[in-house]
Amino acid sequence: MVATSATRRTFVLERGPQGLGLELDSTNTIITVKPGGRAEQQALVQLDDIILSVDGKSLAGKLMQEVMVPGRPVYVVEILRPEKKEVPVATPMKAINAIRRSMSFDKKSSGGNIKRSLSWTTKKW
């Protein structure tokens, strides 16, 4: 199970020759950081970050392109970053009994008879 919380962060993103180098879904969540793009080079945003505002303008109910002023060299973006924390999940213990059999042909200690032994171990995974 994964519990999530989120933090708000503000960054100055630079525009590269091909734009910011981001692909967003309809909720302004980053779904792709384009390889070699400006966002990847800056290493400020991550997949699953949600862009809340651009240059102080809220994106509530709007796409990022509707709010951005085209052609600017930099944009101030506020994002919401989900922080994933691993929470241990209780699972049933599995026990595997490994049985080992061995045969001994020691004539001296067994009086010429075949000596058999059986042992087992229990392992928990």
Q: Which domain holds residue 36?
A: 2-86
Choose from 46-50, 91-95, 104-108, 115-119 the range with maximum mean pLDDT: 46-50
pTM score, whole prediction:
0.63
Write the pLDDT tens digit of every residue in 82-107.
987 666 665 555 444 444 454 555 55
Residues 33 and 65 in one domain: yes
pLDDT at 83: 84
Find, among 95, 81, 96, 90, the residue nearest to 4 by Cα: 81
pLDDT at 113: 58
Percent of the chain surpassing pLDDT 70: 64
Contact 93, 124 (CB under 8 A): yes
- If pLDDT is split at 50, 70 and 90, which confidence band does 22 have? very high
pLDDT at 26: 95
Residues 70 and 28 in one domain: yes
Total structural domains in the chain?
2
Q: Is the pLDDT of residue 115 over 90?
A: no
pLDDT at 84: 74
Residues 73 and 50 in one domain: yes
Contact 25, 31 (CB under 8 A): yes
Residues 70 and 101 in one domain: no
